[in-house]
Amino acid sequence: MLHVGLHHFLVLGALLFSLGVLTVATRRNAVGVLMGVELILNGANVNFVAFNHWVTGGISGQVFALFVIVLAAAEAAVGLAIVLALFQTFRSIDVRTADTMRE
Amino acid sequence: MEHAHALGPILTARAGYLWLIPLFPLVGAFINFVFGWRFERSGRKRLVHVVGVGAMALAFAVAVCAFLQLRALPDEHRFLQDTLWNMFTAGRVTVDLGFALDPLSMMMVLIITFIGMLIHVFSIGYMWDDEAKAYWRFFGWLNLFVFSMLLLVMGDNFVLMFFGWEGVGLCSYGLISFYYTDREKAAAGMKAFVVNRFGDFGFLAGLLLLFWGLGGAWAASGKAHGPTYEPEAALHATAGASTAAESQALAPTVEVGEGQVVKVGPTLNFRELRDQVVIEKTGIAEHLKDQKVWGFALLALIGICLFVGAMGKSAQLPLYVWLPDAMAGPTPVSALIHAATMVTAGVYMVARLNFIFALSPAAMAWVAFVGALTAIFAASIGFFQYDIKKVLAYSTVSQLGFMFIGVGVGAYWAGAYHLLTHAFFKATLFLGSGSVILGCHHEQDMRKMGGLKKYMPITRWTYLIACWAIAGFPWASGFYSKDEILWKAFTSEHLALFGVPTPWLGPAIYLVGIIAATGTSFYMFRSYFMTFTGEYRGGAGHAHEHGEDPHASVAAAHHADPHGHHDAHPQPDPAHGHVHAAHGAFPHVGAAAHDAHGAHGGHGAHGGLPHESPWTITLVLSVLAAGAVLVSLLGIPAAWTGHEPLLEEWLKPALTAEVAFAEKPHSWEFLFQAIGVGAGAVGFLFAWLLYKDGKSTVPAALKERFLGIWTVVYNKYYVDELYDLVVIRPSLAWSRALSWFDGHILDWLVNAVGAVTRGFARIDGLIDTYVVDGAVNAVAVLTAEGGKSLRRLQTGRVQTYLYGALAGGLAVILLNFLIH
Amino acid sequence: MSRKLYTWIALAALVTLFVGVLGVQVGRGGALPADFEVGPFTLRDGLFYFFAALTVVGAGMTALSRNILYSALGLLGALTGAGGLYAWLDADFLAVTQLLVYIGGVLVLILFAVMLTNRITEVKVSNVSLGVAGGVALLVSTVPVLCFVALATPWAIREPEALGPTTRAIGNAFLSQWLLPFELASLVLLATLIGAVVIARKELKADEPDPSLG
């Protein structure tokens, strides 16, 4: 069972994903939330590549993972821009302060 | 007299004008009631009596035409029928508005219209100056009364007869209570009406029993005499018939020969009833004889119940008490209603239904018995009365008793004949007394009269002739009728009491009748002598019409009046003024002019002497007295002439009942006639001895001697007091009890229901406030609270939303896997 | 009873439900594939475990560290580990790109942000908004599900291809099969650039001079 196969990578991916979700859900710092998002995307990437290696062959999975990286970068940029805007509005990067949409 | 055993159904002839006879009086009544007051007020008072008398004259004229037509028809076809329209139909029973004249009703119609017309003429003179200023009302009521009476005798079915029966009761009330502002007079009217009601109840009961008996339980008795009918289902069926023709078609019929068909089963029409019962082939008579109701023979019950009706209307024992009180009405009323017409309705009814009565000896015995008892009872009361009208009233009751003896023993034509003769001589007597009363300035007490033969000769002679007639002396009609009745009573063989034949009852009734005849003669001549002979005892002309209560009458005794009991009231003349006021009695009319007809003399003041009445009155009296004599020609007995009396022959088609009489030789008949005359003579003799010229002291002495008996008889045997105790007071107590019941119990119930309703309403209110509104509010509160709770989900934080989304997503994945 | 307690109870119930159900499924024996990775444990496997550990620990640090800087470092470790794993999986170009772009670009960006915002906020930047228990619950509910799915599905596994350079193939793919996404990605980047600038810019009020100008 210790010989590494697809399943190990899938479990790893699941763990990464879960930890990423945990980070997003529990962090108060807005930047921390973005870090969580990166973790999620990485988890997904790991899955993609693993499947590419063991199931589909070719390079489709890798291409897809590349696209994910591109978009992750773009999204990180925009995300940080939003954090700046958030700071400008609320003078704090605690996500809990941005709750004017409550009730 | 032979009765053809093969009696066929009556054949009718159509006379389309019969409806005019009751119509004229009806129209006259209408005009007088609606416009009469205007005539009187505007000075056209004559118009009132022109209308009234005119209507009567026209009715009489048409009646004479009908009479002539009827006479022209052969015996077995003597029946005029005029059916106007069908009033209603119920199954096989039809009731038409139809008038029928057979010989019996023709006789009645002629009496009513002729004597009625004469009385209307009399009323002109009598009522012209009447204080009540209601000349129009009087004539209106008189005409209406004649209309009702004509309806009674001319109606061809029970419904019309009953309508007329009730109508005469109503008009009698209206006329007796004519002076309605006087409480006692109004009460007298009410008494008449109420006592009549008792009788009417019996009448209806008898009628309904007859109706039921005809339909009867054919199957239950198991016997169907004569032809068998399609079962009683046909008789009882109430299948609708909307027209008279359909109704006729539904009725079961029996063929009685030569294509003649008789309808059988319940019916209200006299002719149909007579046909069914009289013609033996239908078997109805046998059927009726067999039926029993609660152990009593049906026919006896029917007869007795119907006779109860006659008792009420014709004032027999025990329902006679209204007739003396009815003297409170003006005298023409007494003459018309209580002599000639209304009171004879009962006799007419029994004669009309002779075929029913003849089937039941028990009923006949009962009728005759009550008639005899009444005759002698009333005669005895008449001995001691002082009010002239009261004497005549009791005389009427007594004579009606004779009539019922006649129809009771089966001598139907004799009873009818006595009806005819009585109408004439009693009307003469009443109108004569009216003339006397008018002449003595409204004095009614005979003790204040006397010697009037000097002042009122015409009145005196007509009165005397009428007394001769009523006493039963030959050559005046009373003799013939009374003797016929008594002879038939003696020879009757058809009577039975409680189912047991009683041949002794006839002679017993005869004996009673003879004694009553003696009494009749006595008190009538007593009244004659007291009124017309001797010296005038009347002083200052009192005008009160009250004399029924002897202890209240003002007795201004002048001349040798031995009745000192009345000293309680002041004697001297000047005090009469007070006494009037104290009694609140009808004030004297003397001051008013009586001279519309110009025959009064010397009348301006109180204390005038009596005077003869105007020509309208004396003419009528003369005509009636002449009639009383001439009518005797209709009833000359067979023993004298060898053939049937004219009236008997005339009435034969109508009075078909065959009743058994013992055949006795003519010598017996002469003997009995002689006894009758003798009885009358004895009465006359006593009266002459005791009362001629008012000189004898024997009456006073006898009275002192037998004061107890005198008091009892004078107070009418205290019958009124007995009725008050036994009937009136319990009724009032009962009504008070019911009133209490209504007020306390029923009202309590109603209020309780109200309270319960209010209670429910309050509960509803509470429910509405707490439950309904509570539910509504609860929904609102729930929504609000739910909203408040759920609002907390909206934290405004993205992370929370993410958390939720994730949880949801996981759940979906899980579910997906699980469901697979 | 406080609302927090209710929340915890609800979460615990949810978690128990998940775990329970999964356990039942696994217990029924249909969960794990029969031919679950047979083979000897080689160095290569050990290498995998090393990179995996790096990744997971790094991720763990990102998730659970109180200090944002430690989180960033943890992120670094996780990204590096992921890069190593790509290399292990014969995805050479991807591994390099990961290092260059992700770590060299994105992570740097994030570090910049962290560094810059460190001064704004308190040093002790907070951690969990839901508390530890909430986080654990989340983890405990997410991981089993995903693992279950991963392990229970019968993947169509086949022999991996031989090791070889992928750059050329990827390049060709970008310009042939994946041309449209490639071009669109360029557009997205353009939009991102513009968008980031626009979003981060301060609102200029009419009467206020632009602070950036002076």
Which chain A residues have any C-beta within 8 angstroms of a chain B C-beta?
21, 24-27, 33, 95-96, 98-103
Yes or no, beta carbons of C185 and A71 under 8 Å apart: yes
Measured distance CA(B84)–CA(B542) in Å, rounded: 52
Q: What is the pLDDT of residue B694?
A: 67
Radius of gyration for the alpha carbons in chain C, expressed in angstroms and rounded: 23
Yes or no, beta carbons of A101 and B803 under 8 Å apart: no
Yes or no, beta carbons of C120 and A5 under 8 Å apart: no
Residue of C nearest to A97 (CA): C129
Token output for B248: 């006729």
Yes or no, beta carbons of C18 and B810 under 8 Å apart: yes
Residues of B in Cβ contact (< 8 Å) with A37: none
How far is Cα of residue A62 from the mean position of the Cα atoms in its chain? 17
Q: What share of chain B is helix, strand, coil (3-state, %, to 5)?
A: 70, 5, 25
B496-497 and B296-297 strand pairing: unpaired
> Which stretches of chain B drop beneath a pLDDT of 70?
1-7, 91-92, 216-259, 281, 499, 538-608, 694, 820
- How many beta-carbon pairs under 8 angstroms link A with C? 262
- Among B478, B499, B341, B484, smallest CA distance to B407 is for B484
Residues of A in Cβ contact (< 8 Å) with B799: 24-27, 33, 95-96
Residue of A nearest to B801 (CA): A25
Residues of A in Cβ contact (< 8 Å) with C38: 3
Query: B798 CB near a chain A CB, below 8 Å?
Result: yes
Yes or no, beta carbons of B803 and A25 under 8 Å apart: yes
B292-293 and B296-297 strand pairing: antiparallel
Residues of A in Cβ contact (< 8 Å) with B803: 25
Q: What is the pLDDT of residue C205?
A: 58
Yes or no, beta carbons of A7 and C150 under 8 Å apart: yes
Per the confidence metrics, is the pTM higher than 0.80? no
Closest approach of C122 to chain B, Cα-based (Å): 20
Yes or no, beta carbons of C142 and B806 under 8 Å apart: yes
Q: In what helix (H) or strand (E) does residue C198 lie, and over which residues does it extend?
A: helix C179-200
Yes or no, beta carbons of A103 and B802 under 8 Å apart: no
Nearest to A21 among C105, C125, C142 (CB): C142
Residues of B in Cβ contact (< 8 Å) with C138: 803, 806
Q: What is the CATH number of domain C2-145?
A: 1.20.120
Query: A71 CB near a chain C CB, below 8 Å?
Result: yes
pLDDT tens over chain C, length 214 residues: 466 676 667 777 777 777 777 677 667 665 555 555 667 778 888 899 999 999 999 999 998 888 888 999 999 999 999 999 999 999 999 999 999 999 999 999 999 888 887 765 554 444 445 566 677 777 777 888 788 788 878 888 888 888 888 899 999 999 999 999 999 999 999 999 999 988 887 765 555 555 555 4
Residues of A in Cβ contact (< 8 Å) with C160: 53-54, 57
Which residues numbered 496-555 in B keep a CB inside 8 Å of some CB on C? Answer: none
Yes or no, beta carbons of C90 and A53 under 8 Å apart: yes
List all residues 6 or more positions away from B728 whose beta carbon is below 8 Å from its beta carbon: none
Q: What are phi and psi of B499, to 5 degrees?
A: 85, -5
Candidates B791, B795, B797, partner chain A, best to mutate (most A CBs within 10 A):
B797
Closest approach of B757 to chain A, Cα-based (Å): 52
List all residues 6 or more positions away from C30 whose beta carbon is below 8 Å from its beta carbon: C152
Query: B803 CB near a chain C CB, below 8 Å?
Result: yes
Query: B228 CB near a chain A CB, below 8 Å?
Result: no
Cβ–Cβ contacts within 10 Å for residue B491, how many? 21
Residues of B in Cβ contact (< 8 Å) with C27: none
DSSP calls for chain C: --HHHHHHHHHHHHHHHHHHHHHHHHHTT-SS-TT---S---HHHHHHHHHHHHHHHHHHHHHH-SSHHHHHHHHHHHHHHHHHHHHHTT-HHHHHHIIIIIIIIIIHHHHHHHHHHHTTS-SS----SSHHHHHHHHHHHHHHHHHHHHHHS-----PPPPP---HHHHHHHHHTTTHHHHHHHHHHHHHHHHHHHHHHSPPPPTTSPPGGG-
Query: C134 CB near a chain A CB, below 8 Å?
Result: yes
- Among B494, B328, B420, smallest CA distance to B645 is for B420
Q: In what helix (H) or strand (E) does residue A91 lie, and over which residues does it extend?
A: none
- How many beta-carbon pairs under 8 angstroms link B with C? 26
Q: What is the pLDDT of residue B580?
A: 38
- Among A41, A13, C147, smallest CA distance to B814 is for C147
Q: What is the pLDDT of residue B305?
A: 92
Query: For tokens 């991720």, what's the residue?
Result: C59
Chains that touch A (3 or more CB pairs under 8 A): B, C
Amino acid at C92: D
Measured distance CA(B182)–CA(C48) in Å, rounded: 141
Residues of C in Cβ contact (< 8 Å) with A40: none
Taking only the tens place, the pLDDT of each residue in B539-595 is 644 444 333 333 333 333 333 333 434 443 434 444 344 433 333 333 333 333 333
Contact predicate A50/A8, CB 8 Å: no
Q: What is the pLDDT of residue B231?
A: 44
Residue of C nearest to A95 (CA): C129
Nearest to C170 among A62, A73, A80 (CB): A62
Q: In what helix (H) or strand (E) does residue B260 lie, and over which residues does it extend?
A: strand B260-263
Query: B812 CB near a chain C CB, below 8 Å?
Result: no
Is-cis flag, bond preceding C181, omega within 30? Answer: no
Residue of C nearest to B798 (CA): C129
Nearest to C56 among A10, A15, A51 (CB): A15
Yes or no, beta carbons of A29 and C39 under 8 Å apart: no
Alpha helices, DSSP H, located in B456-614: 457-471, 477-490, 505-532, 576-583
Candidates A8, A24, A38, partner chain C, best to mutate (most C CBs within 10 A):
A38
Query: B803 CB near a chain A CB, below 8 Å?
Result: yes
- Among A9, A42, A48, smallest CA distance to C103 is for A42
Contact predicate B342/B279, CB 8 Å: no
Yes or no, beta carbons of C142 and B817 under 8 Å apart: no
Residues of B in Cβ contact (< 8 Å) with C149: 813, 817
Residues of C in Cβ contact (< 8 Å) with A21: 138, 142
Measured distance CA(B819)–CA(B470) in Å, rounded: 127
Query: C103 CB near a chain A CB, below 8 Å?
Result: no
List all residues 6 or more positions away from B335 whose beta carbon is below 8 Å from its beta carbon: B119, B122, B426, B427, B430, B431, B434
Count H helices and E strands in chain A, helices first. Answer: 3, 0
Residue of C nearest to B814 (CA): C145
Query: For tokens 């990286």, what's the residue?
Result: A69
User: What are the structural domain ranges in chain C?
Assistant: 2-145, 178-214
Cβ–Cβ contacts within 10 Å for residue B723, how many? 16
Measured distance CA(C92)–CA(C84) in Å, rounded: 10
Yes or no, beta carbons of B807 and C21 under 8 Å apart: no
- DSSP code of residue B540: S
Nearest to B813 among C14, C129, C145 (CB): C145
Yes or no, beta carbons of C142 and B810 under 8 Å apart: yes
- Among B20, B23, B52, smallest CA distance to B35 is for B52
Output the average pLDDT for chain A.
89
